[in-house]
Amino acid sequence: MPAVVETIAGLRSQLRIAAAEAATASSPQPLVALVPTMGALHDGHLALVQRAQESAAIVVVSIFINPLQFGSSEDLDRYPRTVDTDVECLRAAGVQFVFAPTIADMYPTGPTQTRVVAGDIGAVLEGNSRPGHFDGMLTVVSKLLNIVTPDIVVFGEKDAQQAFLVKRMVADLDIDVVVETVPTIREDDGLALSSRNRFLDGNQRTAATALPRALEAAASSAGAGTDAALSAARSVLEAEPAVELDYLAIVDPETFLAVDAEHRGPALVLVAARVGTTRLIDNHAIHLG
């Protein structure tokens, strides 16, 4: 069984003991990897865990549904809470530590007075649709990095803007950690795995495949440029009435700024849409010709 630790002090002391036990003459300071999650684990999370295990001797998976990153009209209450199943799944994967703090452990005096501000890129795309989301996300990620002090932290490429902003925070604030990213895991029909997919009924689940199909259409038309890629993706989404588009954009992966019609080379096409009451996001690397 992994050690399920709820308190910050408890985790710090157990990690010190584990590091001393795992130390060898050739590796006196065994590497520690952190996989931050909000639980409701699926194979996408397990791919992050596997990367962490390949990279480090000690793996910590945090499970914490961070209220700071949910807006007042968002799905905090409905976010799936499946800690027992999650712990069982992490046990089967051979994870040593699950850090599952309570809200009172993480925010003993209420929401933090001090926040990490995500800046301009934190205010576009997801940040435009979910004001404050990225400040809350970066604030909890920086707390988790301070608590665990990992050598490596692993994020999924499905949340591309999140991974971009974490890398920026780590660079901007000189945090001593390597940020690794892992490709999105998909169902056979292309739908990206997400903890929110469980809310889709049968028809919505079918409609949701319009997102990966739109991204594939953009990739296929990318040789003809930005406008062609966007319009190919938009046609797929518009053909699916159950999909309510939030945004569709193509950005430069180096800056996360929208590319213009003349842009050539690597780019990232991103989509967010609501299917019923469930909000889904996805993205795909493309090459604009």
Q: Which residues bind ligand PAF (CB under 6 A)?
A: 36-38, 66, 69, 137, 140-141, 159, 162
Q: How far is the CB of 137 from ligand PAF (least distance, A)?
A: 5
Q: Is 20 exposed, middle or buried (0-12, 13-18, 19+ CB in 10 A)?
A: exposed
The angle that helices 8-22 and 133-148 make with each other, rounded to 10 degrees, is: 50
Say how many Å lie between the first and final Cα of the chain, rounded. 51
Of the candidates 42, 45, 133, 287, the residue annotated as catalytic is 45
Yes or no: say if 151 and 170 are a contact pair by the CB < 8 Å rule: no
Task: For residue 48, give Cα distances in angstroms to 74, 182, 184.
Answer: 26, 6, 10
Q: How far apart are CA 130 and CA 120, in angstroms?
A: 14
Q: How far is the CB of 176 from ligand PAF (least distance, A)?
A: 19
Pair of tokens at residue 114: 């001090």
Q: How far apart are CA 233 and CA 173, in angstroms?
A: 37
Q: How far apart are CA 249 and CA 160, in angstroms?
A: 13
Task: Give the burial string for 233-270 (b: 16+ CB within 10 Å, else e).
Answer: bbebbeebeebebbebbbbbeeebeebeeeeeeebbbb
Q: Is 16 exposed, middle or buried (0-12, 13-18, 19+ CB in 10 A)?
A: exposed
Cβ proximity to ligand PAF: between 36 and 225 the closer is: 36
Is 263 an annotated catalytic residue? no
Task: For residue 9, give Cα distances in angstroms to 6, 16, 99, 243.
Answer: 9, 11, 11, 45
Q: How many CA atoms lie within 13 A of 40 on its CB side?
A: 13
Pair of tokens at residue 201: 């009924």
The residues assigned a catalytic role are: 45
